[in-house]
Amino acid sequence: MKKNLIAAQSGGPTAAINASLAGVIDGAISSNLIETVYGARYGIQGVLNEDFINLSEVFEEKEKLDHLKLTPAMALGSCRLKLPSLEKTEIYDKIYDVFKKYNIGFFVYIGGNDSMDTANKLNKYFSEKGEDIKVIGVPKTIDNDLAMTDHCPGFGSAAKFVSTVLTEIVSDALVYNVPAVVIVEIMGRNAGWLTASAALTRECTGFAPQLIYLPEVVFDLDNFIEDVKRTQTENNCVIVAVSEGAKVADGRYLSELSSDCKTDTFGHKYTSGAGKFLENLITERLGCKVRSIELNVLQRGSGHILSKDDIDSAFEIGRAAVNAACSGVSGKMMIFLRTDKEDYEYSISYCDLDMVANFEKKFPLDWIVPEGNDVTDEAIKYLKPLIKGETATPMKDGLPFHFKF
């Protein structure tokens, strides 16, 4: 007997999470084990609220999937609801009732660390109950910090946006022939992958950004000022890429050195202002022209500039998730394995959700130079293929137009 599938999206938006959703829908529509594909609005919250969209109906015209694939952010919406420990059964029982009511045999959750925790808990709950409901996680995060997978869908497009606008920030900074420092603050609370992608910009500019600071290495204010001064002797224009999560030796974020900070619902410290702090520090200590730029949410939903590799592979990993579920796999997160490092080839596989839920994969310390202010060639080799290729953004009257339900 055919069962139905629920797909949902969770965590922060990326430019590729809809491509994965499109892959899931494509896989599910093609499967002869699946009757109806439902989309839950606003993540697991949509399951609890029985807030579903019949995706089989919406995507009867399959061309619409191409439009969804190239639409940034999350067409189904997201939530930040974290499920409690399994002993608190009430919410799990409620989800189970909804799954029964809608004859759900498959649940695909597209998200980051916290979403994999949700998928993991649900899988354990269903297993313990002896229910044949397959739960699969599909990774997504611009932070690229999920364990086990070579990289995460969404990261490549974010890295492409970061490195692209950096080429333009460098050109902008070069127009005046005067010493100037530009500090670009890049997302990635605890993992420096996205900030490291700033190094790709050098493939275009030849020299900048010259200084790159990741959260994996302690940030030293005096060393930073010395780095800037030394770089200024080589070039008028010093471009600095710094992670929003850069921390000094006592563990405080740079932003905490000058201002208060907020906490999100997961207890993560919400940081911003590392760039602004360093801007002020340079004004104070060096007195030269300085500007800070916070790339903010632009970097996580840049639909107008996508990595084709990212979007295509995000679609494929979504499709593969459904295929895995249909072949009986559950409690797994889909992963990319880089099978050829020289020519960048990858295959799609899966790993236990236990091995990814709540873990953060940091940027490797041996890919950071000993001075702590740049990444190595090995890092660039890893990053380079992930931003490759362009997609044709759907445009109308000079503006992107996004898929909407």
d(CA 402, CA 73): 10
CB nearer its own copies, residue 365 or residue 400: 400
Widest pairwise Cα distance in the chain:
73
Residue 358 lies near its own copies (rule: CB under 8 A):
no
d(CA 275, CA 281): 10
d(CA 44, CA 121): 12
Measured from the CB of residue 206, what is the shortest distance to its own copies in angstroms? 8
Residue 77 lies near its own copies (rule: CB under 8 A):
yes
Q: How far apart are the first and last CA of the chain?
A: 29
Among 116, 147, 148, 387, binds its own copies (CB under 8 A): 387
Residue 203 lies near its own copies (rule: CB under 8 A):
yes
Among 3, 41, 140, 319, binds its own copies (CB under 8 A): 41
Known catalytic membership, residue 143: yes
CB nearer its own copies, residue 222 or residue 377: 377
Residue 174 lies near its own copies (rule: CB under 8 A):
yes
Which residues sit opposite 262 in a β-bridge?
Answer: 270
Residue 84 lies near its own copies (rule: CB under 8 A):
no
Among 2, 62, 341, 388, binds its own copies (CB under 8 A): 388
- With beta carbons less than 8 A apart as the criterion, state whether 140 and 281 touch: no
CB nearer its own copies, residue 171 or residue 347: 171
Instruction: Count CA within 13 A, CB hemisphere, residue 139.
Output: 37
Residues in the interface with its own copies (CB under 8 A) total 56
d(CA 270, CA 395): 34
Residue 58 lies near its own copies (rule: CB under 8 A):
no
* DSSP 8-state assignment for residue 15: S
Residue 168 lies near its own copies (rule: CB under 8 A):
yes
Residue 44 lies near its own copies (rule: CB under 8 A):
no
Among 79, 98, 181, 282, binds its own copies (CB under 8 A): 79
Residue 305 lies near its own copies (rule: CB under 8 A):
yes
Q: How far is CA 235 from the centre of its chain?
A: 33
Residue 347 lies near its own copies (rule: CB under 8 A):
no
Cis peptide before 179 (omega within 30 of 0): no
Residue 294 lies near its own copies (rule: CB under 8 A):
yes
Residue 200 lies near its own copies (rule: CB under 8 A):
yes
* Residue 238 three-state SS: strand
Closest CA to 5 of 92, 97, 99, 127: 99
Q: Pick the catalytic residue: 117, 143, 312, 374?
A: 143
d(CA 349, CA 338): 11
Residue 112 lies near its own copies (rule: CB under 8 A):
no
- With beta carbons less than 8 A apart as the criterion, state whether 175 and 189 touch: no
d(CA 389, CA 344): 13
Among 86, 337, 365, 395, binds its own copies (CB under 8 A): 395
Q: Which residues bind its own copies (CB under 8 A)?
A: 12-13, 41-42, 45, 71-74, 77-80, 160, 163-165, 167-169, 171-172, 174-177, 200-201, 203-204, 291, 293-294, 296-298, 300-305, 307, 384, 387-390, 395-402
Q: Which residues are catalytic?
A: 143
